[in-house]
Amino acid sequence: MRLGVLDVGSNTVHLLVVDAHRGAEPTPQLSRKSVLRLAEHIDKRGDLVREGADALVGASLGALRQAKELDCDEVLAFATSAVRDARNSAEVLDRVRIEAGIDMVVLSGDEEARLTFLAVRRWVGWSAGKLICLDIGGGSFELGAGAGEVPDVALSVPLGAGRLTREWFPSDPPSKSKIAALREFVDAELAEPSSRLLASGPADHVVASSKTFRTLARLAGAAPSSAGPRTPRVITRDGLRQVTSFISRMSSTDLAELDGVSASRSHQTLAGAVVAAAAMDALGVDQLKLSPWALREGVILQRIDQL
């Protein structure tokens, strides 16, 4: 069957269309993003403002039209941190349902972590043993650990790269003192989650997904996306340290000119690097493997299993 997956995140609305069959790898047919930065359209009261809601409705309409043009049998639409955090999320979702004709569900942070873990497990396989999975989004940071397809621990903490950039970095580039203060804060926030992930012992492999980790790995010398998803990619603690030192002195405009860095996310790359380094230190790991599969693939795999 042909599935469309509409992922409404803090930065982008991403439509992924795949041909999917049980027991086979989903085959991508279309991947298209619209940069909305919904998290930046939350007002002081916690509401998603009219401009952001209008943009979401418009992007949803466009995505549904593309899905129909490609003869999708079903469109799975979900929203994550930005809509989840909005005080008026129910009202916004009603507008999407009525005006765009899409029933969109809001995933909890724990559901994000669980579905991302499922995708990573399927990608790396059973031979990887016990896994810890890390995924840095725009608004939240998902973590999971376990030896099966369902994680024993699935957590979400409000340490997304976009959120931290807005809250901690008033200047571009930020001062050394601000970077140090953010690192101290992230260390404290990860102390309890990391102990839960390690409660049953160390993992055989720690795997990272998400655009943030892929960008950091590319800056550290990993193969470009043109090399294909099956090309092994890793990021080491030393490589991450060097990247962080380098980009901490750059403006987001200059950073966006580097290979592997998207203009829509360059402003939050440094905060993502701080979270990545803190997580590696908290877990006591020197290297992360990268998985090209993450939340969207987890949603697809779960749906195939249900059918």
- 141 three-class SS: strand
Q: Give the pLDDT band of residue 203 (cuts 50, 70, 90).
A: very high
213: exposed, middle or buried (Cβ count in 10 Å: 0-12, 13-18, 19+): buried
- What integer pLDDT is reported at residue 86 of this predicted model? 96
How many C-beta atoms surround the C-beta of residue 289 within 10 A? 19
Query: What are the φ and ψ backbone dihedral angles of 14, each rounded to 5 degrees?
Result: -120, 120
Q: Is the pLDDT of residue 24 over 90?
A: no
- What integer pLDDT is reported at residue 293 of this predicted model? 97
- Whole-number Å distance between alpha carbons of 109 and 293: 18
- What integer pLDDT is reported at residue 143 of this predicted model? 98
User: 88-118 burial, b for 16+ CB within 10 Å, e for fewer?
Assistant: bbeebbebbeeebebebebbebebbbbbbbb
Q: How many Cα atoms occupy the beta-carbon half-sphere of 17 within 13 Å? A: 16
Which pTM does this prediction carry?
0.95
- What integer pLDDT is reported at residue 66 of this predicted model? 95
How many helices and strands, by DSSP H and E, does the chain display? 11, 11
Output the CA torsion 46→187→284→200 (10° steps): -60
pLDDT tens figures, 107-166: 999 999 999 999 999 999 999 999 999 999 999 999 999 999 999 999 999 999 999 999
pLDDT tens figures, 35-62: 999 999 999 999 999 999 999 999 999 9
Encoded tokens for 39? 């998290």
Q: Is the pLDDT of residue 307 over 90?
A: no
pLDDT tens figures, 209-266: 999 999 999 999 999 999 999 999 999 999 999 999 999 999 999 999 999 999 989 9
> Could you give the residue ranges of the DSSP H alpha helices within the chain?
50-69, 81-85, 89-95, 109-124, 161-168, 176-197, 211-219, 237-247, 252-255, 269-283, 295-306
pLDDT tens figures, 281-305: 999 999 999 999 999 999 999 999 9
Q: Would the CATH topology of 2-106 be identical to that of 110-294?
A: yes
The whole-chain average pLDDT of the chain stands at 96
Q: How many Cα atoms occupy the beta-carbon half-sphere of 55 within 13 Å? A: 21
Domain boundary assignment for the chain: 2-106, 110-294
Encoded tokens for 288? 């992360």
- What integer pLDDT is reported at residue 23 of this predicted model? 84
2-106 falls under which CATH superfamily? ATPase, nucleotide binding domain (3.30.420.40)
The yes or no reply on domain 110-294 and CATH 3.30.420.150 is: yes
Q: Report percent pLDDT > 90 for the chain.
A: 97
- What integer pLDDT is reported at residue 185 of this predicted model? 98
- What integer pLDDT is reported at residue 264 of this predicted model? 87
**Phi-psi category of residue 172: left, alpha or beta, with phi > 0 → left and psi -120 to 50 → alpha:** beta
* Edge-to-edge strand ranges of the sheet holding 234-236: 153-157, 141-146, 131-136, 205-209, 287-290, 234-236
β-bridge mates for residue 146, sequence order: 131
Q: 282: which residues sit within 8 A by CB, 6+ positions away?
A: 187, 190, 191, 194
Report yes or no: 11 and 26 within 8 Å, Cβ to Cβ.
Answer: no
